[in-house]
Amino acid sequence: MKQEKTREIVIRPKRQVTIPREVCKQLGIDTGDILELSVEGSVLIAKPRKAAAVEALKEIRAAFERSGLTEAELTASARQARQQIAGEHYAGKA
């Protein structure tokens, strides 16, 4: 990943900051988007929640591939589980 130039921002009295437009464009974020903040040592890391969701999806996909199940097998298993739960929930209510 290419190292970008450092930018300075000011923390306002209510602990608010303005993220430069160029940084928002680079991260693909806009007004109303959510950032996840974390601290590693003395470094503040702000990660767009979208990126966190993509990382989680990648991990789910990797776990699915490691399981050896096919998509059809997973779908069939989920369908069977839903039918069983529905049967238990609605048994005797007809």
Note the pLDDT tens digit of each residue in 7-51: 899 999 999 999 999 999 988 888 888 898 999 999 999 988 876
3-state SS of the chain: helix, strand, coil percent to 5? Answer: 50, 15, 40
Determine the Cα–Cα distance for residues 36 and 47; give it in Å rounded to an integer: 5
Q: Which amino acid is present at 31?
A: T
* Residue found by looking up tokens 């464009």 in the block: 25
- In sequence order, the 6+-apart residues with CB closer than 8 A to the CB of 37 are 44, 45, 46, 47
Show contacts of 86-91: CB within 8 Å, 24+ apart.
none
Q: Whole-model pTM? A: 0.48
Q: Tell me, what's the pLDDT at 41?
A: 96
